[in-house]
Chains A and B, each alone.
Chain A
């Protein structure tokens, strides 16, 4: 059974609007952020309309309802990832989740398993988004640890030939993306996780590009921490997820301090609430969490397997179409094997910015630039690329329009001289 995309599209009001003087919107920038179904908007608004109060505080009815709504959202996230409720930390963004881990580890005293000492090793990959690179660069600088990385091969996949030397006995952290936001590559985790655990390192997975698009079960993946952002998964902005194994969250020191994350407080010292609460200082982003819950429920109802299959169909159609246009270079795997619905490419003699502008004029929204993965662009030998990224509401004829648009841009920019 394939998706009823027509029915799905009816739930997304923005997809009905026009852009640039009456052009029908073709939204292919889902890797940056997804559009939101009415159900998400309703859930967020309903929280404010009916249940708004500060969760985890107060004994009045609204406070109870707000607490229940927030905890229900947590439970939905847990179910979505195959995790336990108490393993889910609600953050403001995936960027915050990754910074939380880096700063918490930086705070860990020498008798804590997360303590990072000079000479310890932090491992990332060459295809990381800046959000999963810079926090580790900074942690390495603060602690004297060494930052090393796994490189990519010519097809845009991780080169695992040096896995055993890159992840060595000094390695404390391996943090990598599940799916590249530029290449679309889905990274093979089994070998990496096995090697990391063999040397006593934790494995952190940036699932921003995977969790919204495919079924994830954290237990099956064997990893230790995972993060994804709400706004790429039909949810509102301002909400992210951090999952961690219970025993690890228990030992990890907190990062943000303040209300609600404490057990006891005196003028000179404090103790922490159990995880996940010790990582959720301040009044939480309740309405956004409730919105994310509605988004995840929407995805579950459609079915993650179906969504992934649908996106791979679109990806295949697009890659096949691109391969028929002369001179096009695709950055990343050219088959749908271990890849997701993100395709970056270059059109000869047209700068991505100009191509993006031309497509925008036809109502087609794509991403151009370095996609917050500057070092990866350097490794690919390009300054920037054009990226199309698909989601459950995209249709085959939209891919055709994109392919037509690319060819028209070639004619347009080839027009003078």
Chain B
């Protein structure tokens, strides 16, 4: 009971230290403003490109080509003799495109190679294709039919609507990466900061290293989870808004929100975040000065493991996917992903989850032990072997 009470006190303290509702709200506002700015900025940028690019051709250019180009470009003509003058002007002004055609090829003169030249080449390719088709007497429809894939109608007994469930899996994995990243930042500040401020000894004279570690792991995980939920709600609202813009009913979001997936994902993600927090706390315990520690790079480990779980999407029934869905450092995201797109037995879900819980139990014990040893080492940062030796010593 005393353990629980003290863990709750430390958890609340750690949560309160770092979770600032004002900052969280500010972050959301910035995100909304940035999204709106990107949306309208993008529209503006596209409206710029909607302006037809001016292309100059010679007076005697094939009418068919001129007409074809006119559909997408503002075509101007000039006498062939003015070519040198045009190029000199182009060099001086840094602007203008001259298109030469003849004997089956095209020559493009431009000041520099930009995205517009790439588009022009695509346009000329289309013109070339149509000209060649006419030569051999094939219509556009006929060519489309030749190049189209075989008409296969898919009908699966299992995993119906799985593509939408995969979207949800990606979404959850993304949220988990976000939560772990946040934890990474806070856990680092919480532990190395306390070591640098020399508070640690004061704290461990009052509570056991295990209580201290558990409080930190729970408190900072809670921040990650709170942010994860906040952004999940924001994303759902954002998606509903986008559906409105695309003339789809807001209720289309329900196609993606598959409740069983969510109910499965939440406990897995929760324990996954706790595991990573325990690992990050253990690493942070050894680091004396985060600015000069070679061990800081280890804090990036969780992202690699979460990203590895995306391999499941390629073939959820492969041996690798099965391994990833059981391996505790990847299973928090891999198992729910597999479950979303393939058949996974309940015993597998339960087994993987129990393994995840046991791993968390192990890592929180390990983190407390490493912390207990590392506070004894002052001055230079301990190596892993020194920590190991001291932990065996007592």
| A and B found bound together | no
- Which B residues fall within an 8 A CB radius of A? none
